[in-house]
Amino acid sequence: MTDLLVVVGARPNFVKAAPILAAAESAGIDVALLHTNQHYDDSLSRVFFDDLDLPAPHVELGIGSDSHARQTARIMLGFEHELLRIDPQIVVVVGDVNSTLACALVAAKEHYPVAHVEAGLRSFDERMPEEINRRLCDHVSHHLFTTSADADENLAREGVPAERVALVGNTMIDTLDRCLDAARERRVPWRLGLAREPYAVATLHRPENVDDPAVLTRLIAAIASVSRLLPVVLPLHPRTRERLEQQGLRELATGVRTTAPLGYLDFLGLVADAGLVLTDSGGLQEETTAVGVPCLTLRESTERPVTVTAGTNTVVGTDPVRIVDAAKAALERGGPAGSLPPLWDGHAAERLVEHLTASLERSVELAGTGS
């Protein structure tokens, strides 16, 4: 019987799962890796496996893109068969994407313990599909591994028993710490002609930002305005590129250096030496805090408030005037005043695997006593 079945499906999952797989292997735990292929494009999937030295998945479901309902349902149907065949002791899901919730629901209904990595995060904005995924996943999980104290507090308010919750730190930071030197060695700013001047990095991908033409117009206009303060590099997520072309907004981005999506190492190397980041990504709020780069979050809320209170992040919304003013203020400060939150020390996966190892040992002991 397999000890752990680790589920990944989208780009952020790979970064969070990589150190867990490595720590489990070091601890002698038998692990199977299942990829739902929610992200299937090579630029969003395969390159991350290569950059992170992730093992080839034992199983790939081949799901691909679809509406939220259809994608979630297809993942559930495909996962059910593989779950019963693999028959793990614990199912480990990471993050807040549709794959996370779909596989957690199936496992819970089949009475497999679920471990949710990055539990307890809340934006309190239920328009975000990820917020629904987070809440539901937490409440069907047996093991809830949190990245910061505010997540513990959220779970306590929602009535999750304290014995199910463990503050272990942030496995995404484990990966960043391991890869940062290699990322910088790739010299991406130099390759883009930016090595001798301050520059900014921007990303946009969330449906609430890129699917609404009015919001996307405001954000692209704001990024273009920032590009008159310093060069801006905008790696275009496939969804964003498609929306810009559909809505005839590419001309608004004049002066912004757009690129294809970048692999993990290339993107980390670009961000690590940036003077400013503008993003609607959750993970990038954490990564900029870790490398000490000022970050402007282009949303009205964040599920990672510790990046604001302890880190380098400022939530600025989607108003162009507010965004440009915040960019000017960040550049005038000349450097961040943030610090690393507790336990963001590169060893979160080790602590997490220690908890799972203890749970697996208890299961063996109970089986031996016939309980």
Q: What is the pLDDT of residue 43?
A: 53
- 């336990």: which residue's tokens? 343
318: CATH: 3.40.50.2000
pLDDT tens column, 126-143: 989 999 999 999 999 999
In a domain, 127, yes or no: yes
Q: What is the pLDDT of residue 88?
A: 98
Lowest mean pLDDT among 74-78, 188-192, 337-341: 337-341
Look at residue 153 and give its three-state secondary structure: helix
> What's the average model confidence in pLDDT over 158-164?
98
- 307 and 355 in a single domain? The answer is no
Where would I find the beta strands (DSSP E) of the chain?
A: 4-8, 31-35, 59-60, 90-94, 114-117, 143-146, 165-167, 200-203, 232-235, 257-259, 276-279, 295-297, 313-315
Residue 254 has pLDDT above 90, yes or no: no
pLDDT classification of 32: cutoffs 50, 70, 90: very high
In a domain, 218, yes or no: yes
> What's the average model confidence in pLDDT over 345-359?
97
* C-alpha of 209 from chain center: 17
In a domain, 339, yes or no: no
Residue 127: other Cβ atoms inside 10 A: 11
> What's the total number of domains in the chain?
2
> What's the average model confidence in pLDDT over 158-168?
98
What percentage of residues in the chain have a pLDDT greater than 90? 82
pTM: 0.94
Chain mean pLDDT for the chain: 93
- 10 and 157 in a single domain? The answer is yes
In a domain, 70, yes or no: yes
In a domain, 177, yes or no: no
Q: What is the pLDDT of residue 237?
A: 86
- 104 and 229 in a single domain? The answer is no
pLDDT classification of 239: cutoffs 50, 70, 90: confident
- 130 and 279 in a single domain? The answer is no
What range defines the domain where residue 204 resides? 182-333
- 196 and 301 in a single domain? The answer is yes
In a domain, 176, yes or no: no
> What's the average model confidence in pLDDT over 82-90?
98
- 227 and 312 in a single domain? The answer is yes
pLDDT classification of 109: cutoffs 50, 70, 90: very high
- 45 and 157 in a single domain? The answer is yes
Q: What angle do CA 360, 365, 368 make, to 5 degrees?
A: 125
In a domain, 338, yes or no: no
Residue 315 has pLDDT above 90, yes or no: yes
Q: What is the pLDDT of residue 65?
A: 83
- 150 and 187 in a single domain? The answer is no
- 80 and 150 in a single domain? The answer is yes
**Alpha carbon distance 268, 235 (integer Å):** 12
pLDDT tens column, 166-210: 999 999 999 999 999 999 999 999 999 997 889 999 999 998 999
- 30 and 147 in a single domain? The answer is yes
Name the active-site residue from 39, 205, 237, 355: 205
Q: What is the pLDDT of residue 41?
A: 60
In a domain, 97, yes or no: yes
Question: Contact at 8 Å (CB) between 98 and 72?
Answer: yes
Residue 294 has pLDDT above 80, yes or no: yes
- 82 and 213 in a single domain? The answer is no
Alpha helix locations (H) across 87-125? 98-109
Burial of residue 181 (number of CB atoms within 10 Å: 0-12, 13-18, 19+): exposed
pLDDT classification of 246: cutoffs 50, 70, 90: confident
- pLDDT higher at 282 or 369: 282
> What's the average model confidence in pLDDT over 297-321?
96
- 133 and 204 in a single domain? The answer is no
**Alpha carbon distance 279, 332 (integer Å):** 19
Question: Does the active-site annotation cover 205?
Answer: yes
Residue 212 has pLDDT above 80, yes or no: yes
- The phi-psi region of residue 187 (left if phi > 0; otherwise alpha if psi is between -120 and 50; otherwise beta) is left
